Structure 1
Amino acid sequence: MTRQSPVRLGIQVQPQHASYSAIRDTVLRLEDLGVDIVFNWDHFFPLTRGHEGRHFEAWTMIGAWAEQTERVEFGTLVSCNSYRNADLQADMARTIDHISAKGDGPGRFIFGTGAGWFHQDYDEYGYEFGTPGSRLDALAEAMPRIEARWAKLDPPPTRRIPIMIGGKGEQKTLKIVAKHADIWHSFVSPADLPHKLDVLARWGDAVGRDVSQIIVSNELSRHRVDLDHADALYDAGVRLFTLGISGPDYDLSPVTEWLAWRDARNG
């Protein structure tokens, strides 16, 4: 994977256990601090505290972020392909891309997607859960439709919208990454990343795509600033580092430490 890319820091503002005003203010503070990307997640219920409590929907939220922010890129880490028709996803992404464009500049939306996994979301909202394999098959079928719809829309997106795909499965997920992704996100350990990247490279050969420019993304520790772990991920090829923060009070003190590490790495 490309090692010339700068280190970037993305903060996932988890839309749980908080008022929307707290979420909005946190996004603005993160942009002012200088983070590169702000993410949310695509669920209908909290993922902590027994899945009870305040929670907000992802795509309507990032439409607001597109308008309220000026510089930072943003997206969902990651959207669930199961919840929305593929062509609708493409149109929503294109619209958010245009909303986020300021002046003559391009949009700032990153299209993050994955196959989905949280059973309660599916049950409560009436989606068929299926199996991991069937959900991955649906994602593989959706991606060409999304890309084809972007080519048909009037107006088209302001830029080639970056595609971020999450997951680590070697038989299906990494094949989809090889065919479609600009960014690959996972929670793979530094020790396991070389093997996964080798699998991804082999899938690139199989589908006829040079995957060397795919940005490798990984999660930072939520509990402490573990520089050794981050350095190991960097040495393994990671260039986009993400950190999740949760409500009701979004603690940004770790963010400032990670920004200093990012800046030192970028020299």
Structure 2
Amino acid sequence: MTSRIRIGVQLQPQHAPDYQLIRDAVVRAEDSGVDIIFNWDHFFPLTGDPDGAHFECWTMLGAWAEQTSRVEIGALVTCNSYRNPELLADMARTVDHISGGRLILGLGGGWFQRDYTEYGYEFGTKGTRLDDLGASLPRITDRLSKLNPPPLRDLPIMIGGSGEKKTLRHVAAHADIWHGFLDVEGYRHKSAVLAQHCADVGRDPAEIERSMAIKFEDDDVAATLRFADDMAAEGVSLLTVSSSGPDYDLTGLTELVRWRDAREG
């Protein structure tokens, strides 16, 4: 597990009718000193006007790969249901090359039913979607090993979610990074569950980087940064704040980057 605190920002590709707004947010985010810029893999907004402006995830990542020069990029997270696993591996390899080796392959089981319904995917159940994710992960890694040329590095696989029976078992078996949406007590509990899954598959849980979402609630910056301190003390080394269009306010991101830099002295 890396010991350096890294800061991510999720630029949610919603409510930005002019793509230039997203392009500008990427510039501002990279200039801020952020470590990773994420988007998400949905087809419709998740907040605000449900029929508002929205753009597709992986097409955008290809553009970000060309636009940026330093930050890592990725989806937080890709819905496993939307693409054939072999195709997704090839897409990820290609974006990795375009970026010069800066892609993180974020994956999750999927959950937003409207995406499935309107785009013609079978929604199934939470259990079947997670089973499908488990079946896809070895197919993705196998295809990555066969591609010519291969990715420029061993692609870090991030799995999002905290389900104890299936998601964390997939994390133990396949992930380099685990991302959750938890408070400190919840993280401690889920981390212990993950450690048991790692023991079951003979893996050191310290090999898996811990990543958590962080929100600036009610403009209480001090309270949010105390939460960041608490999570860092628990071993979380990647903290990600989100921002939505059309404004893409990066005030919270700036505060987190400043907090990270102060910790590093």
Length-normalised TM-score, structure 2: 0.96
What's the counterpart of residue 110 of structure 1? 104
The answer on 1:149 being equivalent to 2:143 is yes
TM-superposed deviation, 1:227: 1.3
RMSD: 1.0
What's the counterpart of residue 104 of structure 1? none
The answer on 1:245 being equivalent to 2:239 is no
TM-superposed deviation, 1:90: 0.3
Match of 2:215 among 221, 237, 245: 221
Q: What is the 5 A alignment of 1:66-81?
A: 66-81=65-80
| Aligned mates of 2:49, 2:29 — CA distance in 1 | 28
Q: What is the 5 A alignment of 1:129-208?
A: 129-208=123-202
What's the counterpart of residue 228 of structure 2? 230
Percent of paired sites with the same residue = 60
TM-superposed deviation, 1:222: 3.8
Runs of 4 or more, structure 1, over 2 Å off, are 222-225
What's the counterpart of residue 121 of structure 2? 127
What's the counterpart of residue 53 of structure 1? 52
Could you report, residue by residue, the CA deviation over 1:175-217 in whole angstroms, capped at 9, with x for unpaired residues? 0000111110001110121221111111111112222121111
What is the identity, as a one-letter code, of the residue corresponding to 1:227? L
| Aligned mates of 1:236, 1:15 — CA distance in 2 | 31
TM-superposed deviation, 1:265: 2.1
Could you report, residue by residue, the CA deviation over 1:208-254 in whole angstroms, capped at 9, with x for unpaired residues? 22221211111111433311211121122211000000011111222
TM-superposed deviation, 1:266: 2.5
Contiguous gaps of at least 5 residues in structure 2: none
Checking the alignment, whether the CA contact within 8 Å between 2:241 and 2:252 is kept in structure 1 is: no
SS in 2 for 1:70: coil
SS in 2 for 1:124: helix
Could you report, residue by residue, the CA deviation over 1:12-33 in whole angstroms, capped at 9, with x for unpaired residues? 0000001210101110111111
| Aligned mates of 2:248, 2:187 — CA distance in 1 | 30
Checking the alignment, whether the CA contact within 8 Å between 1:218 and 1:238 is kept in structure 2 is: yes
| Aligned mates of 1:238, 1:258 — CA distance in 2 | 14
What is the identity, as a one-letter code, of the residue corresponding to 1:10? G
| Aligned mates of 1:246, 1:144 — CA distance in 2 | 33
Match of 1:12 among 10, 13, 23: 10
| Aligned mates of 1:256, 1:216 — CA distance in 2 | 21
Checking the alignment, whether the CA contact within 8 Å between 1:222 and 1:244 is kept in structure 2 is: no
Checking the alignment, whether the CA contact within 8 Å between 1:217 and 1:240 is kept in structure 2 is: yes
Checking the alignment, whether the CA contact within 8 Å between 2:37 and 2:73 is kept in structure 1 is: yes
| Aligned mates of 1:260, 1:189 — CA distance in 2 | 22
Checking the alignment, whether the CA contact within 8 Å between 1:114 and 1:166 is kept in structure 2 is: yes
Could you report, residue by residue, the CA deviation over 1:114-139 in whole angstroms, capped at 9, with x for unpaired residues? 00000000000000000000000000
More helix by share: 2
Checking the alignment, whether the CA contact within 8 Å between 1:12 and 1:40 is kept in structure 2 is: yes
Contiguous gaps of at least 5 residues in structure 1: 102-106
Taking structure 1 as reference, are residues 168 and 146 closer, same or farther at Cα in structure 2, changes over 3 Å only? Answer: same
Checking the alignment, whether the CA contact within 8 Å between 1:222 and 1:245 is kept in structure 2 is: no
